[in-house]
Amino acid sequence: MKVPISKSIFTEEDISHVIQPLSDGWVVQGPKVQKFESMWSQFTKAEYSIATTSCTSALFLSIDSLNLEEDDEVIVPALSWISTANVVENVGCKTVFCDIDLSTFNINLDDLRSKITNNTKAIIPVHLFGYPIDIEIIKGIIGDRKIHIIEDAACGFGSYVDDIHVGTKGTFGCFSFHPRKAISTGEGGMITLNDKKYLNKIRSLRDHGMDYSNDIQNSKPSFMKDHQNAGYNFRMTDIQASLGISQMNRSDKILREL
Ligand SMILES: Cc1ncc(COP(=O)(O)O)c(C=O)c1O
């Protein structure tokens, strides 16, 4: 018998949500994306959520917003999906691999201690397969050093440590909505953060470097603002966000049945 690695289950309700933006006429980075972001914040208790095209683009935007330089080092676990390391290479700084702990599949804390140098600017712990690592322990290892934690919580929806949702304790948390995940928008991702300092920078980088106005109801589709950053196009569509909203409406059921 063949056992599928994952199977997306979409309901009639999901299908009716997906077609809504098609009749409303706002299909990209519109009200549905904003609603999905606010539902994500409500669920995870993160202060802010920023929808993206994938967890990979979420990780990339998070690191890119830190303005790291060539000699800066980012520590990543040696076992993860490849994009955890690829994004470090893509922003042009150094990937430093750290062993994993075979009993948890998470980053090995002794090896992590030995890999931290004066050039370490960020650590990307991975909540691999949704199996959570306690970020407080990593914060304890970092101590007073200025090292960012970017939580790769690609598979972490519904995972908690001491009642705190994963992805909400580091500078950033990054989630995936690829079909192998509990909530799937086909492709898609989300960044969670609590520090407002990075909010508009990341929103701008996601959207071609455009200055970000939160007042989407008042902005006209043709209204062009200043472009301060050399940004990218990592915008989620409202079609994807509608699918996310519909699944978030039954998230308890989805998590119970996983
Ligand atoms: C740990 C981890 N990080 C990153 C990713 C990349 O996610 P995405 O496919 O949404 O870019 C995955 C995908 O499965 C993953 O498992």
Predicted local confidence at residue 217, as pLDDT: 47
**Does 99 score more than 60 pLDDT?**
yes
Is 176's C-beta closer than 6 angstroms to any atom of ligand 1? yes
Domain boundaries, the chain: 28-257
CB-based contacts of 107, cutoff 8 Å, min separation 6: 75, 77, 98, 99, 100, 101, 123, 125, 126, 133, 138
Whether 255 shows a pLDDT value over 90: the answer reads yes
Pocket probe mutation, ligand 1, options 5, 52, 56, 151, max atoms within 8 Å of Cβ: 56
pLDDT digits (tens, 9 = 90+) for 236-245: 999 999 999 9
Q: Which two tokens stand for residue 204?
A: 């701008």
What pLDDT is recorded for position 222? Answer: 43
Ligand 1 centre to CA of 154 (Å) is 5
Q: What is the pLDDT of residues 17-57, one digit of tens each?
A: 999 999 999 999 999 999 999 999 999 999 999 999 999 99
Residue range 72-85: mean pLDDT, rounded:
98
For ligand 1, the distance from its centroid to the CA atom of residue 49, given in whole angstroms, is 18
- The CATH number of 28-257, from 3.40.309.10, 2.40.50.1070, 3.40.640.10, 3.40.50.1370, is 3.40.640.10
Q: Report CA(11)–ligand 1 centroid distance (Å).
A: 24
